[in-house]
Amino acid sequence: MLHRRRTSRTRKGITATALILLLIFSALSAALLSGCNSKRTVTGTALGSYYSVEYNGKNSDKEIEALMSVLDADFAAEGTGDIGKINTAPVGEPVKVDEYTFAALKLAFGISTNSSGAFNPAAFPLTKLWRFAPSVYTGTASSLPDAADIEKAVLISSVSCFRLNEADFSVTKLVEGAMLDLGAIGKGFAADRLFEIIDGKGIADAGATFRVSEPVKMYIQNPRGSDYVAEATVSNIAVSTGGDYQRYYFVDGKRIHHIMGKDGYPAGYFSENPVVSVTVTGESAAICDALSTALMVTGYCPEAEALLELYGCQALLFTETGYYEIGDSPFEVTKGVKLN
Amino acid sequence: MKSPKELNLIEHYRKSPLFGIGDFIVVLALIFVLTLAAKSLVRSDAGTYAEVYVKGELTLSLPLDDDAVCPIPGTAAVLTVSDGKIAVTENDCPNKICIGTGYVSRTGAAIVCAPSGIVVIIRGGDPEYVTGVHR
């Protein structure tokens, strides 16, 4: 009797445990199933391009939209936000900026110094002269700027024409006509901030400058076609690409593009086989963004290798005839594209 | 009359629990398999389509299977879908960068018109991303 009671109690216990386990398992299965549905995507326009953020978890759409609207206003070289104010401010008058603008400028000035000006966030006088400022860019032109004007613009296109004061987050212009432009680091900086908002889990895409956590298939745009020149499956990485094919016009059959070299001419202007596209991979999207522009200016050389090593980044550089790899880039170049 | 063998069998089933550990494992496996099947169905169900945003608002969602010419509401832009690809083929923006982008078809590819606040992104299929498409 006693024995039978004990068995039935044990049996009840087993059934109850089984039921509980079943419930837990069903709940887990349901979560797995709904996992692909709870993925959120926010898309919009900012910084002269689009942004798209894919993430799971708590709804951060509003925070993402607010961030991008602040950066869009503050990073515009021509406008009423922080950089616009600095560019129109008189010499010697400190302009107070918000913490994002200051952080981006501090990082940009550092990379500019470390790359001996190859990455130059103060090149806006040249950008304007070559008709790439957003307010004047049309994608067409019939003549080049005057050589004397280029020389003058080079003199005022340097980060040494500005003073950053960390104590009160202010920026002071030191030379008349000097102007800043965060166009070559802004999208990367935005991707890094977006990635922070989504707790480092998901995909932050700011105008095709990426920060990703989970493994995704990624391609590099063919700079001279509509297909791709390289591909990779990447995770926990930042990826940025700069090239001469994104903003350009032709004068007498010669391509004039928006990345300014140290001599005041578009990067690679006097080169026989100029670099036309650079993809940099690393940990920070802002750094990858800035370095992709820097390498468009330096081309493939020992200085480029040293710069990438300094920031722990890798790069793939394409010319019209082939490619160079610096460091161990995760991208596999498509068959048919030859090594230079 | 039942044979002793049958009686033994009846006794065996009477004593064994109604829902044993073996049944339990089978049910768990079934749930697991069904969940995976449902998940893969949900995925493979989605062909590629274009999401069209105007100033951050999802305005249109166009499948790329059917050829179409479609104006984007609230803008002067016109989209053309042809052979599973999509392009902005008309717009009143100053630089026409959106039209210059041409036809896109791969998941993750995008067409942007900053002045009109238009973003066209290809979704669905296996997620893929392209670096260096726009500045």
The answer to whether residue B14 neighbours chain A at the CB level (below 8 Å) is: no
Instruction: Check if B16 contacts A (Cβ < 8 Å).
Output: no
B3 in A contact zone (CB under 8 Å): no
Mean pLDDT of A34-57: 82
Of the candidates B31, B30, B70, the one whose C-alpha atom is nearest the C-alpha of residue B54 is B70
| Chain A residues inside the 8 Å CB shell of B97 | 139
Give residue A10's pLDDT band: very low, low, confident or very high (50, 70, 90). Answer: low
Instruction: Encode burial over A282-313: b for 16+ CB neighbours within 10 A, e otherwise.
Output: bebbbbbbbbbbbbbbbbbeebbbebbeebeb
Least confident span in A2-16, A55-69, A272-286: A2-16
Mean pLDDT of B30-49: 72
Answer whether A43 sits within 8 Å of B53, measured CB to CB. Answer: yes
Closest-CA residue in chain B for A25?
A: B28
A203-217 pLDDT, tens digit each: 999 998 999 999 999
Q: Is the pLDDT of residue A292 over 90?
A: yes
Q: Which fold has domain A215-340?
A: T-fold (3.10.520)
Which one has a higher pLDDT value, A289 or A38? A289
pLDDT at B43: 47
| Torsion angles phi and psi, residue B97, rounded to 5 | -65, -35
B41 in contact with A, Cβ within 8 Å: no
Angle CA A224–B111–A132, to nearest 5: 65
Is A210 in contact with B131 (Cβ distance < 8 A)? yes
pLDDT, tens only, B55-79: 878 899 999 988 999 999 999 999 9
Q: How far is A126 from A122, CA to CA, in rounded Å? A: 9
Average pLDDT, integer, range A222-242: 92
One-letter amino acid of B53? Y
Per-residue pLDDT tens for B77-93?
Answer: 999 999 999 999 999 98
Residue pair A292/A242 in contact (Cβ under 8 Å)? The answer is yes
Give pLDDT tens digits for A94-105.
999 999 999 999
In sequence order, what DSSP letters do the residues of A142-207 get, joined into one string? SSPPPHHHHHHHHHT-SGGGEEEETTTTEEEE-STT-----TTTHHHHHHHHHHHHTTT-SEEEET
Region A75-93: mean pLDDT is: 97
pLDDT, residue B135, reads 41
Give mean pLDDT, residues B24-48. Answer: 75
Beta partners for residue A318, in sequence order: A277, A323
Give yes or no for B28 touching A (CB within 8 A).
Answer: yes
Are A239 and A213 spatial neighbours (Cβ–Cβ below 8 Å)? no
Question: Which residue is it, tokens 């879908």?
Answer: B81
Contact flag A48-B135 (C-beta cutoff 8 Å):
yes
Instruction: Please return the burial class of A262, using the count of CB atoms within 10 Å of its CB with bins 0-12, 13-18 and 19+.
Output: middle
Span B8-29, mean pLDDT?
82
Q: What's residue A48's pLDDT? A: 85
Distance from CA of A295 to the nearest CA of B (A): 14
pLDDT of residue A138 exceeding 70: yes
Amino acid B18: pLDDT: 74
Give tens-digit pLDDT for A297-332.
999 999 999 999 999 999 999 998 999 999 999 999
The residue ranges of every structural domain in chain A are 215-340
Residues 6+ apart with CB under 8 A from B4: none
C-beta atoms of B130 and A279 within 8 A? no
Task: Please name which of A165, A129, A164 lies closest in space to residue A147, comparing C-alpha atoms.
Answer: A129
Using CA atoms, how far apart are residues B82 and B62, in angstroms rounded to an integer? 12
Q: Is B30 on the interface with A (CB under 8 A)?
A: no
Q: Cβ contact (<8 Å) for A205 and B119?
A: no
Per-residue model confidence (pLDDT) at position A18 = 65
- Gap from B3 CA to chain A (nearest CA, Å): 27
Q: Which region among A150-159, A161-170, A217-226, B29-38 has the lowest average model confidence (pLDDT)?
A: B29-38
Distance of alpha carbon A120 from its chain centroid, rounded? 15
Q: With CB atoms and an 8 Å threshold, state whether B132 touches A208.
A: yes
pLDDT of residue A2: 45
| Mean pLDDT to the nearest integer, A15-44 | 68
- Categorize the per-residue pLDDT at A335 as very low, low, confident or very high, splitting at 50, 70 and 90: confident
| Burial of A230 per CB tally in 10 Å (0-12, 13-18, 19+) | buried
Which position has the token pair 């010697």?
A92
Is residue A253's pLDDT more than 70?
yes
Is there a contact between B89 and B78 (Cβ–Cβ < 8 Å)? Answer: yes
Cβ contact, residue pair B127, A208, below 8 Å: no
The pTM for the full model equals: 0.79
One-letter amino acid at A15 equals T
Angle at the Cα of A286 (from A284 to A287), degrees rounded to 5?
70
The residue of chain A nearest to residue B129, with distances taken between CA atoms, is: A218
Q: Is A296 helix (H, G, I), strand (E, B) or coil?
A: helix
> Which residue matches tokens 């992104």?
B121
Which of A54-68, B35-49, B118-132 bottoms out in mean pLDDT, i.e. has the lowest?
B35-49
- Write out chain A residues lying below 8 Å of B17, CB-based: 11, 14-15
Least confident of A143-157, A173-187, A256-270, B114-128: B114-128
Contact B76/A at CB under 8 A: no
